[in-house]
C-alpha cells in the first residue's frame, strides 16, 4: 500500500522551520506530551504518555536538533 498526501503551507520555509522549532507552540499540539524544560533555542525536554490497548507508557524525552541519545 502506498499513501501519499500533499499540502501547501502558507508561510516561507524559514517561518515554517522557526515554528516547528518553537517548543512552546509545538508540544501542546501533541496529544500526551508535556513540555518540561526549554534548554536552549534548539533543545527541550518533554514527557510523553502513550497508551496502546491496556498498556500505558510514559517517556521522558530530550528533543533537539541533531540530538542523539547516549
Residue 45: inside a domain: yes
Predicted local distance difference test score (pLDDT) of residue 67: 53
- In a domain? residue 56: yes
| Domain residue limits at 60 | 31-65
9, 17 contact by CB (below 8 A): no
Q: What is the pLDDT of residues 2-45, one digit of tens each?
A: 999 999 999 999 999 888 888 889 888 888 899 999 888 778 89
pLDDT score for 23: 86
Say what the pLDDT of residue 14 is.
93
Residue at 60 is within a domain: yes
Instruction: Kindly state whether residue 43 falls inside one of the protein's structural domains.
Output: yes
Please count the structural domains in the chain. Answer: 1
- Domain assignment present for 6: no
HEC profile for the chain?
A: CCCCCCCCCCCCHHHHHHHHCCHHHHHHHCCCEEEEEEEECCEEEEEEEEEECCEEEEEEEEEECCCCCC
Mean pLDDT of 41-58: 90
Q: What is the pLDDT of residue 12?
A: 95
CB atoms within 10 A of CB 23: 22
The answer to whether residue 7 is domain-embedded is no
Amino acid at each position: 500500500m502506498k499513501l501519499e498526501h500533499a499540502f501547501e503551507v502558507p508561510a516561507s520555509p524559514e517561518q515554517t522551520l522557526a515554528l516547528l522549532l518553537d517548543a512552546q507552540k509545538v508540544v501542546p499540539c501533541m496529544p500526551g506530551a508535556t513540555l518540561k524544560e526549554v534548554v536552549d533555542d534548539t533543545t527541550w525536554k518533554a514527557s510523553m504518555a502513550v497508551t496502546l490497548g491496556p498498556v500505558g507508557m510514559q517517556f521522558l524525552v530530550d528533543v533537539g536538533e541533531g540530538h542523539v541519545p547516549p
